[in-house]
Amino acid sequence: MSSKDWIEKDFYAVLGVDKAASADDIKKAYRKVARESHPDHNPGDPKAEERFKAASEAYNVLSDTGRRREYDEMRSLFGSGAFRRSARGGGQPGGMPFDVSDMFGGAGGGDRRFGGAGFQDLFSSIFTGGQAGGQAAQRGPARGRDVETEVALDFGDAVRGVTLPLTLRAPGVCETCHGNGAKPGTQPRTCTVCHGAGVTTRDQGAFSFSEPCRNCQGVGTVVEEKCPECHGSGGVTKTRTMNVRFPAGVADGQRIRLAGRGEPGERGGPAGDLFVHVKVRPDELFGRTGDDLTLTVPVTFAEAVLGTDLRVPTLDGAVTLRVPPGTPSGRVLRARGKGVVRRDGQAGDLLVTLDVVVPARLSDEARAALEAFAEQSPPAAREHLDARVRRVS
C-alpha cells in the first residue's frame, strides 16, 4: 500500500471507531465489520466485498502501533496545513512562495502544526513509501529546521575572514492566533464540505480520485473571522539577525555549516543548523587558486631580457620581486606567504605571472635602437620549423 493511500483513506471511519480508540476497540470493531461484510455471508454483493477489503486494509495499519503512529502523523500533516500551502501553489504563511527548498529547510519556520517530526522527514517518508520505523516515527522534542541562505563576500574579506550581520527571513507561526488563522476569541469551524478531512473524493468509473477540499483548501477548517495579524493564513514572516564569522580563506562556492544557528527547536528541542552558501566577488587585480593568490604583471622586453626589480601589490601592501636577466614571458614568480592564510596559520603564496608586452607603437628613436638591436640579436630558435617548411614547399 502506498503512502498516498494513507493520506486519502480514513481508516478510523472504515472501522467506525474514534481516532483515540484503543487497540482493543479497534480489534473489536474490525471483527464486527469483517463478520458483517464477509463474502461468505454476502455472496455476490460487491459492496460488501469492498467493505471487507477496506476493513482488512484499515486493520492492517491500525493494529500495528508503529504504522498507526505514522498514519496519524501523515493524516494530521495533510489535514492541517500542508495542503493549504500546496493547494494554493504559493499561499505560504507570510506570503512567501512555497517551493522545494522550503521542504528541506530553505525557509523553515517553527510551525507547530507539523507535529513532532520535521516537515522534511514526513515528506521523505511519503516519497519512500512510509516504512514503519522511519524517521517520521521519531519521538521527543522536535529539532529545529535547518536553514539555508546565500551570502556574497568581497574578495579581500573572504581571504582575511570577516564577521557580517546576516538577516534571515523565515515563515513562522502567528503569535496572535497561534497559527489557526482565526481572530482571537473565535475558532475556525470544521469545514462542512469535507467534514474536516481536508480531502474530497470523486468517483469516476472504476477509479475514485481524492483531491484537496476546495472549500477549505485542504485545511479541514474554515476561518470565519480572520486574525488581524496574519489575515487568516496562520503564518507570519519572522526576521532574525545574527553575526556570522566567516573564517579566513573561505572560497567561492563553499558551504559553511553553523551548528545550532538554524531555526530554534520546539518545546526545548535542539536548534537546526544554518548553512551559508558563500559567493566571493571577483577582485579587479587578484585571482585565487586554492590558497594561492594570482596576479599578472606586464613587463617590457628589455626588463625580461636585462632583469629588474618589480614592485608589485599584495592584498595587504607590496613586495619587491627580483626578475632575473633572461626571464621568458609567462614565467611565474612566487612571493612566499603572501597568499591566503589558512586555519593552521600557514599561508599560500602570491603567484606573479610575467607578461612580456609588445609595444604597438614606437618613437623614431626607439625604432632605430630596436633595428640596431635586431642586427646584433641572435636569431630565434626556429630552425626545426624552417626545416619542415623547406621539406613541404
Per-position x/- string for 119-158, each x denoting binding to Zn ion as judged by CB under 5 A, each - no binding? ----------------------------------------
Contacts of 264 (CB under 8 A, 6+ apart): 110, 144, 271
Burial of 73 (0-12, 13-18, 19+ CB in 10 A): buried
Of 14, 29, 103, 191, the residue at the interface with Zn ion (CB under 5 A) is 191
Complex with Zn ion: residue 61 or 191, whichever CB lies closer: 191
Of 174, 223, 295, 323, the residue at the interface with Zn ion (CB under 5 A) is 174
Of 23, 164, 193, 318, the residue at the interface with Zn ion (CB under 5 A) is 193
Q: How would you label 207-233 residue by residue, b for 16+ Cβ within 10 Å and e otherwise?
A: eeebebbeebbbbbbbbeebbebbebb
Minimum Å gap between C-beta 103 and Zn ion is 23
Number of residues that bind Zn ion (CB under 5 A): 12
Of 215, 254, 294, 296, the residue at the interface with Zn ion (CB under 5 A) is 215
List the beta bridge partners of residue 308: 323
Of 74, 96, 168, 230, the residue at the interface with Zn ion (CB under 5 A) is 230
Interface positions, 344-363, toward Zn ion (CB under 5 A): none
Q: Is 213 in the site for Zn ion (CB under 5 A)?
A: yes
Minimum Å gap between C-beta 68 and Zn ion is 24
| Per-position DSSP letters for 56-98, written without gaps between them | HHHHHHHTSHHHHHHHHHHHHHHTTTHHHHHHHTS--GGGPPP
Determine the interface stretch with Zn ion among 1-9, 149-157, 219-227, 354-362 (rule: CB under 5 A): 219-227
297's enclosing H/E stretch is: strand 292-299
Q: Is 190 in the site for Zn ion (CB under 5 A)?
A: no
Question: Helices 46-62 & 23-37, crossing angle to 10 degrees?
Answer: 160
Backbone φ, ψ for residue 369 (5° rounding): -65, -40
Complex with Zn ion: residue 64 or 229, whichever CB lies closer: 229
Contacts with Zn ion by CB under 5 A lie at 174, 176-177, 191, 193-194, 213, 215-216, 227, 229-230
